[in-house]
Amino acid sequence: MIMRTFLPGWIARVLRPLNLPHGIIKKRPSQALGIASRRLPFAIARSNIVHLVKLKERKCPMAKIVLGLAASHTPMLALEGKRWSERAADDLKNKALNLSDGRYVSYDELARENGAPYAALATEAKFLEIEAASQKALDYMADRLAQVAPDVVLIVGDDQAELFSLSNMPAISIFYGEEILTHERHLTPQTPNWIGTVMKGYAMDAVHTFPGCPELARELIHGLIENDVDIGAAAKVDDPHKAGFGHAYGFIIERLFKGKSIPVLPVLLNTYFPPNAPTARRAYGVGQAIASLISRSKLDARVAVVASGGLSHFVVDEKLDRKVLDAIKRKDVSVLKSLTRGELNSGSSELLNWVMVAGMSEHLDNDWTEYYPGYRTPAGTGTGIGFAVWS
């Protein structure tokens, strides 16, 4: 009777033979599956149902992190190499380029301090070389994700005033809504052309809708609170034309999912905005806590965790990048936890996303890493482009 009352007939016919537990069905099965809302697209409802059927078919219920990934999401990865010079032109105007000693300098000041040691690397030929290698690395990661076929992808990203704002910027937050709506970036005639192209790769050229993973997200929020981690929580995007999910999430979904509809569990880490950006020590510890909660979840789910962003930018610091990658490879927790505030300013702060996922992936081994210092200008601005897999 509950099925007939709250679910369309085709959904009821799919679910009735499964004898789903009360914890999933509850009073309104449609709500538990994320299909009650008329705003929720059919494709997402269908994805959530298929996802639930897959979980029910398993004989030994147990949630488990089965794969860890980390990938830069620099605009360079959503832009053809021959156009990287357009992005470089904006570097020349930047008055607040972060250095790993905590200082901020203009490009002119950086050039006076460094000279032009990277002129031979900031060429179109080198751009095309790094572009090809980076896209090959992303293809490899997408293949690894497809091979594992996770039920849920947990993405750790930083919100750069896309969903949140300075009126309320939680240090760490988990989204437990049924649908993830991306923010449509408003472009003006003054917006550089390269930004419009990059927004497509970030799923921010329009409002895009992706399925969330509310049940596991609620478990994590509740579990963290019970373990004295005062986590922020969000369940809804009110108006994606004003605020919504940003590039850290859209890039991973667009580039690594191969068009598949996989439930996403967003963890939003405030890496950019003082005064409440978490320390590296805290990021690693919360990552450990999330992994522990997933391993004890009542749900039967294969989870992939992904760090989005990094490495050093907007001035490339190869020494810092290689230190972090080496620590991940060797599982040197002390190095990861001791990254300084100076090393974690501005774009380089996205290293915290990698640190948190490293904390989630302690039981896995870092079996593959690629790194390309992406210098855009002679003085050394650009992005350390990195990729990693734990399995």
Whether residue 55 is contained in a domain is answered as no
Residue of higher predicted confidence among 48 and 207? 207
Please tell me the distance from the alpha carbon of residue 152 to that of residue 76, in angstroms, as a whole number: 27
Whether residue 4 is contained in a domain is answered as no
pLDDT of res. 31: 40
Angstrom CA distances, 206 to 185, 243, 343, 346, stand at 7, 12, 34, 26
The domain in which residue 223 lies consists of 61-390
Whether residue 31 is contained in a domain is answered as no
Least confident of 17-21, 92-96, 211-215: 17-21
pLDDT of res. 44: 53
Whether residue 177 is contained in a domain is answered as yes
Cα four-point dihedral sign 244, 248, 254, 257: negative
Please tell me the total count of domains within the chain: 1
Write out pLDDT tens, residues 324-353: 999 999 999 999 999 999 999 999 999 999
Q: Which alpha helices (DSSP H) does 229-366 contain, by range?
A: 247-256, 280-295, 318-330, 333-337, 351-360
pLDDT of res. 8: 44
Phi, psi angle pair for 297, to nearest 5°: -65, 150
pLDDT of res. 289: 99
Write out pLDDT tens, residues 157-178: 999 999 999 999 999 999 999 9
pLDDT of res. 62: 78
Whether residue 173 is contained in a domain is answered as yes
Write out pLDDT tens, residues 20-62: 433 333 333 334 444 334 344 555 555 555 555 554 444 456 7
Please tell me the distance from the alpha carbon of residue 278 to that of residue 270, in angstroms, as a whole number: 7
Question: Residue 256 in 3-state DSSP?
Answer: helix
Contact yes or no for 343/334 (Cβ under 8 A): no
Whether residue 51 is contained in a domain is answered as no
Residues 6+ apart with CB under 8 A from 191: none
Q: Quote the pTM value.
A: 0.86
Whether residue 324 is contained in a domain is answered as yes
CATH, residue 323: 3.40.830.10
Whether residue 23 is contained in a domain is answered as no
Question: Residue 335 in 3-state DSSP?
Answer: helix
Strands 152-157 and 172-175: unpaired
Strands 64-71 and 302-308: parallel
